Amino acid sequence: MSDEFDYETYDDLSSLCVGHEVPEFKMETYEPSTGSFGEIDLGELKKAGKWTILVFYPADFTFVCPTELADLADQDAKLTELGAKVIGVSTDTKFSHLAWCQSEKLMENVKYTLAADTNGVVSSMFGVYDDATGLSLRGTFIISPEGKLVSATVNFYNVGRNMEELTRVIEANVHCAANPAEACPAKWKPGEKTLTPNEGMVGNVYEALNG
Q: Is 176 a catalytic residue?
A: no
Q: What is d(CA 57, CA 52) in angstroms, rounded to the nearest whole number?
A: 16
Q: Which residues contact 51 (CB under 8 A, 6 or more apart)?
A: 82, 83, 84, 85, 142, 143, 144, 145, 170, 173, 174
Does residue 50 contact residue 183 with C-beta atoms inside 8 Å?
no
Phi/psi region, residue 18 (left: phi>0; alpha: psi -120 to 50; beta: rest), is beta
Kindly write down the DSSP assignment for every residue of 128-145, as one continuous string.
-EETTTTEE-EEEEEE-T
Catalytic residue among 17, 65, 176, 184: 65
Neighbours of 81 (CB within 10 A): 8
Active site residues: 65
